[in-house]
Amino acid sequence: MYTIGQVADMFGLPVSTLRYYDKQGLFPELERTSGIRRFGDTELEALRVIECLKKAGMEIKDIRLFMEWCAEGPSTYPKRKAMFEERKAHIESEIANMNRALDMLKFKCWYYEQAIQDGNEDRVKALIPDNLPEEIKDTYDNAHAR
Amino acid sequence: MYTIGQVADMFGLPVSTLRYYDKQGLFPELERTSGIRRFGDTELEALRVIECLKKAGMEIKDIRLFMEWCAEGPSTYPKRKAMFEERKAHIESEIANMNRALDMLKFKCWYYEQAIQDGNEDRVKALIPDNLPEEIKDTYDNAHAR
DNA sequence: GTAATACCTAAACCTAACTTTAGGTCAAGG
DNA sequence: CCTTGACCTAAAGTTAGGTTTAGGTATTAC
């Protein structure tokens, strides 16, 4: 059994965050001795799950929901799977978006590299082909391939 | 020249958002006739830039900074490039993080798929190799490769 | 002539996930 | 005895990027 301060040190989290998680119902089994929180294995495991699911961009209310489903037993396997499938699809589309943004940024870096060399944007502007430079300028590769 | 409502329709943005951008100093050249905003080519171009940089996760204050640098001329090319380089590095590390989260989610989906088939988690738990199941369980591929 | 629109402002509200503050209990150390 | 430090609570504050509201003007439609 650990105090809140010990757990905070173990996980590198502020004490206030742990109290906040508790308030959000993320430690439903948490015990207290004369008002003081006592963190046991259940809570440490819960914290590991929380850290993991937060990395996947899950909101606290969803994490709580997931934990409730875990407590309910095997009948909630499909719900839990559906939650992760939905998260997976979401993350995949976010990754795709970020890759598009990344192409744009690569283009911008290349563009300013040229502009710095030339002292103006005239040549680099002329280099951009008119055919593909719409929104997402992955024009970088095109321009770069010259 | 367009009114705020026309621009809102053109970009599919709420009028309130355009007024908010204006308040944040994103249309420094914006003209008014008797109090009413008149959006010209400069502002439409600014909006295109804004949409583009927002997709790259840039904050409004950084977008404003970028626009100020653009107005200052060629001497700010290095600053602008540095800003994009920093963004690029940031996005790249975010993509790496999300790929790690994605591996975890794939594992979770696979895990619950097995659990649903078995009606319990006993077999699937036993399937997870002890060697690699630490934080980021890309164990999915390992377990799946059996 | 009045009702619906489109525009304007300032200021309050919203969400998420915390953090900070103010005020209080309790045990150990000097 | 009294100060320091760890714990507690409730409530207010923070941040970003808007959105909503309340209140006002001006034009157009019937």
Would you give per-residue pLDDT tens digits along chain A (146 residues)? 999 999 999 999 999 999 999 999 999 999 999 999 999 999 999 999 999 999 999 999 999 999 999 999 999 999 999 999 999 999 999 999 999 999 999 999 999 999 999 999 999 888 887 654 454 454 444 444 43
CA-wise closest residue to A28 among A57, A66, A58, A2: A66
- Output the pLDDT for position B30: 96
Angle value at C-alpha B43, between B37 and B47, nearest 5 degrees: 120
Angle value at C-alpha A121, between A119 and A125, nearest 5 degrees: 150
Nearest nucleotide relative to B35: CA against C1': C8
Please report, for residues A71, B18, B52, B68, the alpha-carbon distance to residue B3 in angstroms, rounded to integers and kept in the order given: 56, 11, 22, 24
Dist. CA B44–CA B27, nearest whole Å: 9
Asked if A50 and B82 touch (Cβ cutoff 8 Å), the reply is no
For chain B (length 146 residues), average pLDDT per consecutive 10? 96 96 95 95 94 93 94 95 95 94 92 95 85 47 46
Asked if B52 and B46 touch (Cβ cutoff 8 Å), the reply is no
Q: Which residue of B has its CA nearest to A111?
A: B81
**Token couple for B4:** 């705020």
The Å distance, CA of A15 to C1' of C23, is: 18
Nearest to A95 among B77, B85, B98 (CB): B98
**HSE-up of residue B127 (Cα within 13 Å, Cβ side):** 21
* Cα dihedral across residues A61, A66, A67, A71: positive or negative: positive
Identify the three-state secondary structure at position B91.
Answer: helix
Q: Are B104 and A80 inside 8 Å of each other by CB?
A: no
Question: Within 7 A of a protein CB, which nucleotides of strand C?
Answer: 6-9, 16-21
Q: Are A104 and B74 inside 8 Å of each other by CB?
A: no
Give the 3-state secondary structure percentages of chain B, helix then strand then coil, rounded to 5. Answer: 70, 5, 25
Dist. CA A129–CA A145, nearest whole Å: 12
Dist. CA A25–CA A39, nearest whole Å: 14
Dist. CA A131–CA B68, nearest whole Å: 29
Q: Which residues of B touch A75 (CB under 8 A)?
A: none
Query: CB distance from A17 to chain B under 8 Å?
Result: no
pLDDT tens profile B88-118:
999 999 999 999 999 999 999 999 999 999 9
Phi, psi of A36 (to 5 degrees): -90, 130
Query: CB distance from A70 to chain B under 8 Å?
Result: no
Identify the three-state secondary structure at position B59.
Answer: coil
Q: Are A84 and B105 inside 8 Å of each other by CB?
A: yes
Asked if A96 and A138 touch (Cβ cutoff 8 Å), the reply is no
pLDDT tens profile A126-146:
888 765 445 445 444 444 443
- Output the pLDDT for position A128: 81
